[in-house]
Amino acid sequence: MDKQLQINAQHGLHGQLSVPGDKSISHRAIMIGSLATGETHVHHFLTSADCLATLQAFKNLGVQIDRQGDEVVVHGVGMHGLKRPEHALQMANSGTTTRLMMGLLAGQAFESRLIGDDSLSKRPMRRVADPLAEMGASIETTEGHLPAVVHGQTLKAADIQLKVASAQVKSALIFAGLQAPGHTVIHELLPTRDHSENMLKAFGADLTVSSDKMTITVGQTDQLNAQTVQVPGDMSSAAFFMVAATFLKGSDITLTNVGLNPSRRGLLDVLVQMGGHVEVNETVSAGEAVGDIRVQSADLHPIALTAEQIPAIIDELPLVALLAAKADGISTIHGAEELRVKETDRIACVERELGKLGANVKALPDGFVIDGRTPWQVNDTVLDSHGDHRIGMMLGLAALLVDQPLTLHRADAVGVSYPEFFDDLNTLLEA
C-alpha cells in the first residue's frame, strides 16, 4: 500500500497520548500464560500483526485464548498441556515469536514446523538452534533459516555463554531451561531486555538473575501460576513521538503510562545527551517501571554511541539516525551490527531512504556516521519502508521535515507493531 505522507508540520506536536501495549511483553504474556495453570488476564495487549501471530500460534497449540480488543484471557494448559499442532505454525514477520517458541517447543513431547514471511525467512535462526542443541534440543532449520522443524524432546540443563547480545536467544534458552531437569545457567554478552525474567518470576518460576544482570539461572519448573498482566505502553512506539516532538519546533507532548524498564529506555538518555527536553514521572507497576514522559522541542547536538549502549536502544536506532541527521555536528553509531539482521538490513535501509531526502548518512559495517550539518535536499519523492515497520514509521517522521509531497511505498508494514501509528501522529499534529 502506498501512502501520501503528511509534510512540513508547522506547529509541532501537542497533546497527550497513550501508546499501544509493549510488543515484547505482549508476546511473553501469551506464551507464559499458556504454560501457566489457571486464567491469565492480559490488559492493554498489543493487537498488532506480530503479537496476533503469537496469539494464533498458541491457539493452534490447543490453548483457549479469548480476546476483546486489547483485553485477553489466556486459559493456561500447564507446562505439559500443549497439543501437537495440526499444521505448520505461522510466525509471519515476527522474530520474537519464532525464537522464543523454538526454545519453548524444544522441550515439548511433539514435533512442530515453523514458517514465516519472506523477511523472517531470511533472518538467522542458528543463533537459537545452536545453543539450544547444547541442551539436547533438535531443531532442523533450512540452512539456518525458516522453515524449521522443532523435534520436541527431553532436554538437559547446561551452562551456556551467549555469542550475540540478544534477548530473543536468551529467552529461548530460558524457556528450554524451565523444562530441563537441573539448573541451566545463561551468560549474556551484554545485558539485554529482561521481560522474560521479570514475568517468569512473577508467575513463580525458579529463576534468578545475578546483580550485574549478566547471568541468569533457571531451574526446571513444574508449575507456573496464572497472573494478571498489565502491559505498559511500548517505549519503542512512544519513541517515534518523542523524536518528532524534539525536532519539530513548538512541540509539547506527554506520553502516558510508557514502560520504563532500564533495559529499554536508552532513548531517554540519548535524547538528553543530544540536548533534548525530556521530563519523566516514574512509578513501579507489577515489577516493571512505568511512567509519563513529557517532551518539548529542542536544538540537537551530535552523539557517539558504542556497543554497550546498543541493547537498550536497539529498535530505536533508525530514529537516532534521523535525529543525528538534524543535529549540529557529526554523530557516530558503532557496535550496532545486529541492525543488519532485523526485518530488513536497517543500516542499509536508513542510509538509502534518508539519502533520498539529502541527509548525510553513511553506513558502516556496524552502524553509521551522520553529519547533521548537511542541508537536506529531496532527490527522490518516493520512499520505501522495504516492508519494515520501524523504517516505515521513521520515514513518516522524516517527511515532516521537508516541504515537498512524498509517497511511502509499503506503508502498511507499520501494522506489525503499531497499526494506528499514522492516526496517532495526525492526532498530535492537529492538537
**Does 94 contact ligand S3P by CB under 6 A?**
no
Q: Which of 22, 50, 234, 315 is catalytic?
A: 315
Q: Which does 267 bind (CB under 5 to 8 A by kind): ligand PEP, ligand S3P, none?
A: none
Angle in degrees, CA 135, 141, 143, rounded to 5: 125
- 220 forms part of the interface with ligand S3P (CB under 6 A): no
* 123 labelled binding-site residue: yes
The three cell numbers locating residue 345: 538490513
19 is written with which cell numbers?
501508546
Cα gap 177→163, rounded to integer Å: 18
CB of 123 to ligand PEP, least distance (A): 7
117, three cell numbers: 514471511
Contacting residue, 188, 197, 338, 353, with ligand S3P by CB under 6 A: 338
Of 107 and 318, CB closest to ligand S3P: 318
Q: Which is nearer to ligand S3P, 235 or 363 (CB)?
A: 235
Decide: 146 and 115 in contact? Cβ < 8 Å.
yes
Per-residue DSSP letters for 264-287? T-HHHHHHHHTT-EEEEEEEEETT
264 in contact with ligand PEP (CB under 6 A): no
294, 253 Cβ separation under 8 angstroms: yes
Q: Per CB under 6 A, which of residues 342..361 are in contact with ligand PEP? A: 342-343
Positions in 353-392 near ligand S3P (CB under 6 A): none
Whole-angstrom distance, CA of residue 104 vs CA of residue 102: 6
DSSP 332-387: EE-S-GGGGGSSS-HHHHHHHHHHHTT-EEEEETTEEEEETTSPP--S-SEEE-TT
> Is the Cβ of residue 220 or residue 261 nearer to ligand S3P in the bound state?
261
Cβ of residue 43: shortest distance to ligand S3P, in angstroms? 19
CA 415, 269, 14: angle at the middle one, nearest 5? 55
User: Whose Cβ is closer to ligand S3P: residue 300's or residue 393's?
Assistant: 393
Residue with cell 490488559: 43
Q: Which is nearer to ligand PEP, 3 or 390 (CB)?
A: 390
126 is in an annotated binding site: no
Those residues whose C-beta lies under 8 Å from the C-beta of residue 430, and which sit 6 or more positions away, are none
Judge whether 342 is annotated as a binding position: yes
If one asks whether residue 26 binds ligand PEP (CB under 6 A), the answer comes out as: no
Burial class of residue 66 in the structure, from the number of CB atoms within 10 Å of its CB (0-12 exposed, 13-18 middle, 19+ buried): exposed
Is residue 96 a contact point for ligand PEP (CB under 6 A)?
A: yes
Does 119 bind ligand S3P (CB under 6 A)? Our answer is: no
**45 with 73: CB under 8 angstroms?**
no
Partner touching 193 among ligand S3P, ligand PEP, none, CB below 5 to 8 Å by kind:
ligand S3P
| Nearer residue to ligand PEP within complex by CB, 316 or 351 | 316
Find out whether 339 and 165 touch, Cβ atoms under 8 Å. Answer: no
**Would the annotation count 366 as a binding residue?**
no
- 70 as an active site residue: the answer is no
d(CA 360, CA 327): 11
In the complex, least distance from residue 211 CB atom to ligand PEP, rounded to whole angstroms: 28
Choose one: 88-96, 171-179, 279-287, 379-387; the region binding ligand PEP (CB under 6 A).
Answer: 88-96
Quick one: which of 168, 237, 257, 344 contacts ligand S3P (CB under 6 A)?
A: 168
227 grid coordinates? 497472573
Residue 96 lies near ligand S3P (rule: CB under 6 A): yes
Strand order, beta sheet including 37-43 = 64-68, 71-77, 37-43, 228-230
340 labeled binding residue: no
Would you say 156 is a known binding-site residue? no
Confirm or deny that 112 is annotated as ligand binding.
Answer: no
**Selected binder of ligand PEP within 288, 292, 315, 316 (CB under 6 A):** 315
**Chain residues 304-323 in contact with ligand S3P, contact rule CB under 6 A:** 314-315
Cβ neighbours for 352, distance < 8 A, ≥ 6 positions apart: none
Cβ 430 to ligand PEP shortest distance, Å: 27
**Amino acid found at 288:** E
Q: Which residues bind ligand PEP (CB under 6 A)?
A: 50, 94-96, 315, 342-343, 390, 417
Binding-site positions for 3-phosphoshikimate read: 23-24, 28, 166, 168, 315, 342
Q: Which residues bind ligand S3P (CB under 6 A)?
A: 24, 95-96, 166-168, 171, 193, 314-315, 338
Binding-site positions read: 23-24, 28, 95, 123, 166, 168, 315, 342, 346, 390
Task: Please identify every residue annotated as catalytic.
Answer: 315
